[in-house]
A and B are shown apart, each in its own frame.
Chain A
Amino acid sequence: MLAKRIIPCMDVRNGRVVKGVHFVNIKDAGDPIELAKEYNRQGADELVFLDITASHEKRKTTIDLVEKVAKEIFIPFTVGGGISTIDDIRAILNAGADKISVNTAAVENPELIKKGAKKFGSQCIVLAIDARKNEKMPSKYEVVTYGGRKPTGIDALKWAKKGEKLGAGEILLTSMERDGTKLGFDLGITRKISEKVNIPVIASGGVGKLEHFYEAFEKGKADAALAASIFHYGKYTVKDIKDYLKNRGVIVRE
């Protein structure tokens, strides 16, 4: 049986992991390479590296870093942040990433998904959707871009379906309200999208305790769950989460 995936996410800025840097058991707390190795050791099913480096001059550093991480871990590795052209996708894949994620650039230029999927295959194009509650939308959720700063007027479910049609291989769905709150994933929109598209949906945003992972799979119908600070803070390891899920009857990779 296909296992539910647990995916740690690293937000990387100027070569350092920046979200909730309070790691205890790791020597160089903010080093993405060390952290990637640690998550791999703990049994992470995949790794997401989100480049939030502001300036474009630093892109080269990011590519170097992606290359180094890819040499250390032999699990699927997704890189996102600042990818807006086919050349950007190529550079990241050539550095050793297996998948790229696109967010704002895809909303502004949906052809990017289509062209990327045609050129490199759907399996490596992840459509990241940041959604925020908006009662006026048919699905009650609106797509927001630029890290949640810009409302787009686009319905989240509609965009997810369109993304699938354009060739995205997976959807990484982040609830903007829940992100960083530790209140749990937004199960409503996660389930809505997961049931309406035929590609895997990765739930993201809001995880704070073990039960939230269980809910994402059982109630949210997600195929994978992504989290950052719960791992960074050292509150739980990937193994803790998997042991818990296994006890509750969820199929996970051991």
Chain B
Amino acid sequence: MIAVIDYGAGNLKSITNALDFLRVEYKVTDKPEYIKKADKIIFPGVGAFGDCIKALVKKGLFKSLKREIGKKPYLGICMGLEVLFEKSEESPGVKGLSIFKGKCRKFKSKNLKIPQIGWNSVEIVNKKSSLFKKVDDGSYFYFVHSYYVDAVDKKVILTKTNYGIDFVSSVERGNIFGVQFHPERSGEIGIRILENFVKC
């Protein structure tokens, strides 16, 4: 069973529709006990960094995730990626899960529309990644975000994307994955990413 984390801020219908399509068993939950029981975790986070962390702490999910991430495969989507880092410019003073070293930075450019909304391509840095199995370099994914992760450890960089600057659009370390884009809204190629995760 895959635990799909719902901390009450977002609409999870698109991710559950995609999991239904893949015919996998999942449980939408905000309970640490299900995260413990689950074989895998998907966290399709939305909202602001600070609010998200606060909600995780309040529900006992912060400790639960710290404990379980690494023990079982984890896929963080959008905010579910960002919370894996130490902090974010979005919410100064709020401590993230700190699974990865580094922080989330805001896009800064006068010529860019922020948030980045739309389809952008990824350059696959880690060619051996199981998450990107049968996914072509340069594939397009759907992004909606104002912040990006600045990873200290460059070895965790899975893909890069250009939006004014080259930023890290996904990370991987062992069985911990985080993607800035929305695989559940990225058509067939996005479904392949989810399928690769489900099978890992």
Contacts and interface: CB of A to CB of B under 8 A. Distances in A.
A36 to B, nearest CB: 13
B186 A2 contact: no
B60 interface: no
Interface residues of A, number: 30
Contacts of B17: 70-71, 74, 96
B11 A124 contact: yes
Nearest to A44: B187
Contact of B13 (A96, A120, A123, A200): A96
A110 interface: no
A3 B181 CA distance: 14
A111 interface: no
Contacts of A124: 11
B26 interface: no
Interface stretch (B108-116, B147-155, B172-180): B108-116
A122 B47 CA distance: 9
Contacts of B18: 74
A96 B14 CA distance: 6
20 contacts: A1-B163, A2-B116, A71-B21, A74-B187, A76-B185, A93-B11, A93-B13, A94-B13, A95-B13, A96-B17, A98-B11, A98-B14, A121-B46, A123-B117, A123-B144, A169-B117, A200-B113, A200-B117, A224-B118, A253-B119
Interface of B: 10-11, 13-14, 17-18, 20-21, 46-47, 113-121, 140, 142-144, 162-163, 184-188, 190-191
